Amino acid sequence: MRGLTWPRLLILTAFLAACGLSPSLAQAKSRIKDIVDFEGVRENMLVGYGIVVGLAGTGDTLNNSPFTRQSLAAMLERLGVNTRDATLNTKNVAAVMVTAKLPPFAATGSPVDATVSALGDAKSLLGGTLLVTPLLGADGEAYAVAQGTVQTGSVSASGASGSSITRGVPTSGRIAAGAVVEREVNFQLASMGQLRLTLKNPDFTTSHRIADVVNGRFPGCATSDNPTIVTLHPPAGMDMVNFITTVEQMDVEPDSPARVVIDEVSGVIVMGSDVRISTVAIAQGNLTISVQETPQVSQPLPFSQGGQTTVTPKSTLSVDEEKGKQLLMIKEGASLSALVAGLNALGVTPRDMISILQTIKAAGALQADIQVM
């Protein structure tokens, strides 16, 4: 190539690749494990009710939170202390809801994190200790037990005059590894005869490509059922665990429909690489109309009789239309890089770009779906 040195050629090649204009550059591929979920391999939600003790006067007001008073009395009675006829007036206790996620294939004795949230009118859970709390699954059975010191990661202080400052959320905290798994979920993956893969972004092309890649390595072991589901069958002599371990490392080029996502609140626009524009001309300009009111005072002549001082309005109207904006022509089949370069040439702001894209779509020239958030 005459007149083009190697450094300049490398810079030009990198620029074309960044713009998506290099036909020889293959699109990025993803591992199957990153674009699908494995049926049955998922977390399970756990929830429980408990009490936090040891608060420095920031707990529930027992008169306003009867469930806290009842829970405290019941706990003390189980420990051999009778407080049924006593008047409890402590502010060092708070009723809380405890939540956790049971990981897939979690074994008995494995620790998991627990989240603690105040249920009553407690002001802060900082420094409190959660007492033994069973965590139940959707079937009502206890799968874990939580206990430990609550860490809120927040700061809260108040003065005698009523002024206060709070950073973070002091009524919600976390207990790292504060729950212990007591029951396992019975899921025998190794003995399964088939397993379904669920695409995170359903697409016919991606589903078919996954089946082709798997069948290329293990003929007849994958079937594309629909845009979301790919069914796998392990080959003879291989269990499901070893089969999935091999399949999830395979590379597939995922496909997606052309889409433009617009967040009108923050003015963010995200366009996919497959967005195409038909032949269209775009012009953009700003028209500013300003009205200025200047009141004037009218005084009567000296020694005049019957004259009064009056205020007369005076309006000045001006129209300012931005000049220098040319009509931009986008040719048939223009790519994302050409569209962005053209809109940037007009000097439009992100919010103006949102209006332009919606107008192009209304004209039928934008070959993509617009999703407004």
For 283-307, the DSSP string reads ----EEEEEEE--EEEPPPTT-SS-
Contact by Cβ (8 Å): 59, 118:
no
Q: Are residues 109 and 235 in the same domain?
A: no
pLDDT value of residue 7: 41
Contact by Cβ (8 Å): 348, 356:
yes
The residue range of the domain holding 205 is 188-252
Q: Are residues 94 and 200 in the same domain?
A: no
Q: Token digits for 272? A: 């996919």
pTM across the whole model: 0.68
Do the domain assignments include residue 134? yes
Q: Are residues 114 and 198 in the same domain?
A: no
pLDDT value of residue 309: 73
pLDDT value of residue 355: 80
pLDDT value of residue 268: 79
Nearest CA-CA partner of 142 in 108, 116, 190 = 108
Q: Are residues 102 and 133 in the same domain?
A: yes
Query: Distance (Å, rounded) from C-alpha 106 to C-alpha 152?
Result: 26
State the number of CA atoms in the 13 A half-sphere of 318 facing the CB. 5
Q: Are residues 246 and 194 in the same domain?
A: yes
pLDDT value of residue 22: 41
pLDDT value of residue 18: 42
Rounded to the nearest 5°, which phi and psi values hold at 123?
-90, -30
Do the domain assignments include residue 95? yes
Q: Token digits for 50? A: 């408990």
Based on the number of CB atoms within 10 Å of its own CB, is 184 exposed (0-12), middle (13-18) or buried (19 or more)? Answer: middle
pLDDT value of residue 358: 81
Q: Are residues 231 and 353 in the same domain?
A: no
Q: Are residues 138 and 211 in the same domain?
A: no
Instruction: Please state the domain count of the chain.
Output: 3
Do the domain assignments include residue 6? no
Do the domain assignments include residue 8? no
Q: Which amino acid is at 305?
A: Q
Query: Distance (Å, rounded) from C-alpha 212 to C-alpha 191?
Result: 25
Q: Are residues 57 and 150 in the same domain?
A: yes
Q: Are residues 150 and 246 in the same domain?
A: no
Rounded to the nearest 5°, which phi and psi values hold at 145?
-130, 130
Q: Are residues 110 and 206 in the same domain?
A: no
Maximum CA extent, the chain: 119
Radius of gyration of the chain (CA): 34
Do the domain assignments include residue 10? no
Do the domain assignments include residue 234? yes
Q: Are residues 343 and 323 in the same domain?
A: yes
pLDDT value of residue 14: 43
Q: What share of the chain is helix, strand, coil (3-state, %, to 5)?
A: 20, 35, 45
Contact by Cβ (8 Å): 153, 171:
no
Do the domain assignments include residue 38? no
List the chain pLDDT tens, one digit each, 373 residues: 444 444 443 344 444 444 444 433 345 789 999 999 999 898 999 999 999 999 999 999 998 899 999 999 999 999 999 887 788 889 999 999 999 999 999 999 999 999 999 999 999 999 899 999 999 999 999 999 999 999 998 776 666 666 777 778 899 999 999 999 999 988 888 888 999 999 999 999 999 999 999 999 999 999 999 999 999 999 998 999 999 999 999 999 999 888 888 887 777 788 877 787 777 776 666 545 455 657 777 777 776 666 677 777 666 656 555 554 555 666 666 665 676 676 677 677 777 777 878 887 888 878 888 888 7
Q: Are residues 126 and 218 in the same domain?
A: no
Contact by Cβ (8 Å): 210, 197:
yes
pLDDT value of residue 88: 84
Query: Distance (Å, rounded) from C-alpha 365 to C-alpha 333?
Result: 10
Contact by Cβ (8 Å): 332, 278:
yes
